[in-house]
């Protein structure tokens, strides 16, 4: 219980600190406020994920429950920030974000991810719980879940995770934000439970850069294919399904209905 209590306090501290800084910075000039929001929100996302990943070693059920809770918190506090290069790429492909702006967003996200990993190590070094102390004594060592995973299987898992989450976000766009947030959080929690043992179910290149790339047991190339290419393909499949396939099918159905109505009117 002491370990859980300390992790809860760490999560709360991260969220409160980021929320205060976010309000201070994003309320300034609008031209750089969006980039400040991306940096702070990505730090919040990655720092909390680091703590939950560590907690899952001692209390996996609690960590999974907190994954749902913290996902809802992120959605409520991000204020439009993506915190995910794949989500940024999706906005670019859909035309809501320019190419140069998308590149700057991605650079902010990757830089913030690196800062979050370094910052959490500075917190763990105080040894506030036995879990933190053990991790600090090990030199913050971690083993990649890809160590025993086949490359194609791992890519497929990250692809499926990203596809599921992005498809859920698309399907629930018509819902009230209160219900939509909980629906997406529930799906993310389910995805983490299903694919966590194989790849960690990260489906976020920035988060993977912070939490998985420093771990032993995998190469940079394998990490890039799994944690960068996999989510991009998953998001692309989601866009293709909903923006092309379903749209084309719906258009054809509407066209046939219109033709039938015209025939009935003529008769």
Residue 164's alpha-carbon distances to 35, 126, 154, 170, 186, in angstroms, are 27, 38, 15, 10, 12
- Domains along the chain with CATH numbers: 1-249 (1.20.1080.10)
DSSP letters of 96-149?
A: SS-HHHHHHHHHHHHHHHHHHHHHHHHHHTT--SHHHHHHHHTTS--B-GGGGS
Angstrom distance (rounded) from CA 65 to CA 108? 29
Is residue 212 within 8 A of residue 202, CB to CB? The reply is: yes
Per-residue pLDDT in tens (0 to 9) along the chain, 267 residues: 889 999 999 999 999 999 999 988 876 556 678 899 999 999 999 999 999 999 998 999 999 999 999 999 999 999 889 999 999 999 999 888 899 999 999 999 999 999 999 999 999 999 999 999 999 999 999 999 999 899 999 999 999 999 999 999 999 998 999 999 999 999 999 999 999 989 999 999 999 999 999 999 999 999 999 999 999 999 999 999 988 777 766 665 555 555 555 555 555
CA 22, CA 126: separation in Å to the nearest integer?
26
Buried b (16+ CB within 10 A) or exposed e, 167-177: bbbbebeeeee
What is the chain's length? 267
């Amino acid at each position: 219980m002491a370990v859980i209590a300390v992790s809860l306090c760490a999560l709360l501290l991260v969220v409160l600190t980021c929320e205060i800084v976010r309000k201070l910075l994003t309320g300034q000039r609008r031209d750089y406020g969006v980039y400040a929001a991306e940096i702070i929100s990505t730090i919040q996302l990655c720092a909390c994920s680091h703590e939950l990943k560590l907690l899952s070693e001692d209390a996996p059920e609690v960590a999974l429950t907190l994954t749902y809770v913290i996902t809802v918190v992120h959605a409520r506090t991000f204020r439009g920030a993506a915190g995910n290069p794949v989500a940024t790429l999706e906005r670019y492909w859909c035309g809501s974000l320019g190419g140069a702006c998308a590149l700057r967003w991605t650079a902010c996200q990757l830089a913030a991810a690196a800062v979050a990993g370094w910052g959490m190590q500075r917190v763990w070094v105080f040894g506030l719980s036995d879990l933190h102390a053990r991790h600090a004594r090990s030199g913050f060592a971690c083993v990649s879940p890809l160590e025993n995973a086949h490359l194609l299987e791992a890519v497929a898992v990250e692809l499926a995770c990203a596809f599921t989450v992005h498809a859920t976000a698309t399907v629930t766009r018509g819902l009230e934000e209160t219900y939509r947030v909980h629906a997406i959080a529930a799906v993310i929690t389910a995805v983490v439970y299903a694919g966590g043992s194989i790849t960690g179910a990260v489906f976020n290149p920035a988060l993977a850069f912070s939490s998985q790339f420093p771990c032993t047991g995998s190469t940079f190339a394998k990490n890039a294919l799994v944690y960068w290419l996999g989510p991009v393909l998953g998001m692309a499949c989601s866009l293709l399904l909903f923006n092309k396939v379903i749209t084309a099918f719906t258009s054809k159905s509407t066209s046939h209905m219109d033709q039938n109505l015209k025939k009935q009117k003529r008769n």
